[in-house]
Structure 1
């Protein structure tokens, strides 16, 4: 005999509360396992395709791991040193940029020469603060990054976790399927399939968009001669998954740097602005429709809300799980709405007698 609905809801709520409690208490501990699991999830279709080509699961996992390690080494040797040097140079140049901004403002607005001017005092304080805190900020950012993404975690633990989870992925899915409540297994499988479709379409597609746009921005900005172009492109590409924020932040940073570097050379400044205009056009009309699609069901506002809430509650780990949770909740909400519209509470007795409800997905 199946458990009453009230009892089932109670047990599912307890399981959800335990999950959130574990995220709060063990966030830093489970971080490498979350990253490894995410990478295994992304790479599982590749492993399945290699298996269809004739490789065993062990051979497919080994090939993927070796290629991934090779790419990581190439990135570390070719891109990371330039990125770090440009970031340090940008921070060191911040005081000079502030002084040039102050000079530009005084030139255009002579009334700022008044020593009692609030704007002049504020600009002077900003410049002094940047000059005093620039080195400390750089060191703090580097220390935080190293403490969060330690070399041991991402060089040793994550690849090992990814390898074993990718190797046993199909077995884990089969085991979880075998543990489903028999009365609800068909519905759970259907909902899990919809969640997987939404999540894979969004995450894999959006990551591809981020990499493509970041590469485009970094390459074109460096080609037009913008200093720190690699840093600006990396920042713009990394936060492209937040709708409109990547282009706004990257564009403002790039155009601001171009104004100081190319002041008077309006062609170069226009090229920098045009790069982000082209990037936005490509993202909105080519990349996102082709790679992400319109049937994912993750509204930009819902996504930003999930990132904000989970980021504030669970920190970096929360931001990692925000998108999967948002996708799952979107599917569950649509399922709940469909159940409500098929119920007597929505249709009434006359509605059920007149016509069968449609299957609203």
Structure 2
């Protein structure tokens, strides 16, 4: 057994390039895991700089100074964020408050409808099942639970000062990352070993894939959210803007997000129209949007960026989401692609076994 483990270790870890790649990945992973909270503004700025690098590079091709190009792109990006913050967020906030206020009435109306259905079709749903649902909902909406939610909201409000720091610090960091990109990369190389050719190969393979994925995901969120909002508004569904945004954001969590967002859409439509043709039209239209997203939009946007089995994607969402929360969910697929790229680039057994023999000769 020990000899087998020793042979396996020599076969997989005898290449110095592989050891370097392993230590780089472990170092970055440990840094993010233990110091991610402290370095959060820096990490957010790095992500934004990575996304904004492409337009800055395109502007630089026209002979515009990189500092000027970085300033222009950053101003346009900040202007877009301000427009969203003051144009879209207040409407979403009002609809969210209205939905939270109407939720108990909506649930009560839904329960009454379920009781009526139970009386008409007792073979499909019983009174005992409805009573069990009512008990669970009362637990969910009890006073203590609402107080806990209020405490959480107060905690988020207390972090307003931290948010202000982000508003000032992150744009400044993004500007310097964009303006001094080459200088910063050159300076950071001294912290990495010299024999990093394998790590460089993995990075070059992932660089374009990560950019394509993030760009495609942003486009997907905008398209799905806009189409869903237009459809809900045409159907005159209540809280159409909020539900449209939730539908757009649901694509961040593959396979699971669409299922979660279906529940509030179905609840709002059912309470608004009951069992009626309008309710059926809303659910059919929502299903068509999800089908077009999964079978048309996703293959077009991610044909070159994602080549992973659905089981691996769901596993990546669970693992990285558990480690890093929202950011982990958003970058779950790129991180899974990184793991796949490392496995593919790792020296095979024959190459690793022949390397020490060549050196020994």
How far apart in 2 are the matches of 1:314 and 1:13?
21
- The aligned counterpart of 2:246 is 235
CA distance change for structure 1 residues 194 and 19 in 2, over 3 Å: closer, same or farther? closer
What TM-score, normalized to structure 2? 0.80
Which structure 2 segments of 5+ residues have no match? 1-12, 355-361
- The aligned counterpart of 1:255 is 266
Q: Is structure 2 residue 286 aligned with structure 1 residue 276?
A: yes
Q: Is the 8 A contact 1:112 1:120 kept in 2?
A: no
What TM-score, normalized to structure 1? 0.80
Moved more, 210-219 or 80-89: 210-219
Q: Is the 8 A contact 1:44 1:169 kept in 2?
A: no
- Aligned residue pairs, count: 337
Q: Is structure 2 residue 201 aligned with structure 1 residue 215?
A: no
- The aligned counterpart of 2:42 is 33
How far apart in 2 are the matches of 1:41 and 1:312?
24
CA distance change for structure 1 residues 315 and 12 in 2, over 3 Å: closer, same or farther? same
Q: How does 1:279-358 map to 2 (within 5 A)?
A: 279-294=289-304, 296-316=306-326, 318-319=328-329, 322-336=332-346, 339-340=347-348, 343=351
How far apart in 2 are the matches of 1:342 and 1:222?
61
Q: How does 1:12-51 map to 2 (within 5 A)?
A: 13-51=22-60
Task: Give the C-alpha shift of residue 226 in structure 1.
Answer: 0.9
Q: Is the 8 A contact 1:98 1:126 kept in 2?
A: no
Question: Which residue of 153, 159, 169 maps to 1:157?
Answer: 169
Greater RCO between the two (CA within 8 Å, min separation 6)?
2
CA distance change for structure 1 residues 296 and 315 in 2, over 3 Å: closer, same or farther? closer
How far apart in 2 are the matches of 1:52 and 1:311?
38
Q: Deviations over 1:114-163 (max 9, x none)?
A: xx964343344345445545854663564465567842144222222222
- The aligned counterpart of 1:168 is 180
2:237 alignment partner, SS class: coil
CA distance change for structure 1 residues 324 and 157 in 2, over 3 Å: closer, same or farther? farther
How far apart in 2 are the matches of 1:275 and 1:141?
35
Q: Deviations over 1:183-216 (max 9, x none)?
A: 443x433321111122122222122112211122
Which structure 1 segments of 5+ residues have no match? 347-361
